[in-house]
Amino acid sequence: MLDLAIIGGGPAGLTAGLYATRGGLNNVVMFDMGLLGGQITGSSEIENYPGQSSLMTGMELMESWPEQCQKFGLKHEVKQVSKVAKENEIFTLSMSDGSTYEAKSVLLATGSVPRRAGFKGEDKFFGRGISTCATCDGFFYKGKEVALIGGGDSALEEAIYLSKMCSKVYLVHRRDTYRAAPVTIKHMKACKNIEEVSNVDVEEVIGDNMGVNGLILKSKIDKKIKQLDVPGVFVFVGRDVLNEPLKQDDGSFLCDTNEQGEIIVNLRMQTNIKGLYAAGDVRIDAAKQVVCAAGDGSTAAVNIIEYLG
């Protein structure tokens, strides 16, 4: 019987593992299928992690985290958790390989993935001119023109962020009204170098061996084709949280979630199910920053130790 099962090996899961094992829990296993470190390992430049003295890649930032956790006894299993269920105060984790684990407590730290828009060239140029992180990659386009796709809060907020470093931001949206909050729309409209390109479908992102050099759009009104010659395209068409392990056989979730499927937690990272916690991007109101995910992980672990007594 595990004291704690951690699902996800990003900043939230790793930090929870560190605090839980160093805090005295003996049998803690972190389940993660991929490279430890989470989605930040895909970022090319990090310069806002506190205490960091030089610019580094996400991979470099996360390199020593697993070793530090393992030093205190955190075990890592390369297994995919397909389902978490709870009966008689005990959690059962079913793995995709057919094996099962029992645990007294569970932390879901699976994060989220940026949604793909589905246009031609998106997969081909992803990471080579197409980005889903303005904070990570905006700096590469300092003084240049970029296009940004989407019409929600994330798109408009990131367009405003990019407008401060890029010469021009084309805000490409498939409608002419935005989902974003009115105040965010007002701020976006006040940015002189944001050009709204509305009522268009993205046909294709084009480029060569060096990366992206243009975006082809089709007007929904007159069907005319328009090309934007930009070296960078940012896509903000929503995010999908990775909440699958909490899905029960009847389609409901083991704990309360909001409409987006984000896990509802309190300030202790505790869900409405005793012993079940969530941390990082998978939870409601996540700031989607490494430092915040790490903070969530430590908060969860401290409270799990208290819960287990």
User: How far does CA 104 lie from the centroid of its chain?
Assistant: 27
**133, 166, 255, 281: which one is catalytic?**
133
Shortest reach from residue 111's CB to ligand NAP, in Å = 14
- What is the rounded distance in angstroms from the CA atom of residue 54 to the CA atom of residue 74? 28
Shortest reach from residue 64's CB to ligand NAP, in Å = 31
Binding region for ligand NAP (CB under 6 A): 117-118, 149-155, 157, 174-175, 179, 236-239, 260
Helix axes 182-189, 153-163, angle to 10 degrees: 30
Residue number, 19 or 236, with CB nearest to ligand NAP: 236
Residue number, 73 or 238, with CB nearest to ligand NAP: 238
Shortest reach from residue 183's CB to ligand NAP, in Å = 10
Side chain identity at 89, as an amino acid letter?
E
Name residue 21's beta-bridge partners.
none
**3, 32, 137, 296: which one is catalytic?**
137
Tokens of 58: 């996400």
Whether residue 104 contacts residue 274, with contact meaning beta carbons closer than 8 Å, is answered with no
- What is the rounded distance in angstroms from the CA atom of residue 206 to the CA atom of residue 212? 6
Q: How far is CA 264 from CA 10, 12, 281, 284, 295, in A?
A: 19, 16, 12, 6, 17
* Chain residue at closest Cβ approach to ligand NAP: 152
User: How far does CA 222 lie from the centroid of its chain?
Assistant: 37
- Whether 191 sits among the annotated catalytic residues: the reply is no
Shortest reach from residue 235's CB to ligand NAP, in Å = 8
Residue number, 125 or 236, with CB nearest to ligand NAP: 236
Residue number, 83 or 187, with CB nearest to ligand NAP: 187
Sign of CA dihedral 23, 28, 30, 36: positive
- Whether 136 sits among the annotated catalytic residues: the reply is yes
**3, 32, 69, 136: which one is catalytic?**
136
Catalytic residues: 133, 136-137
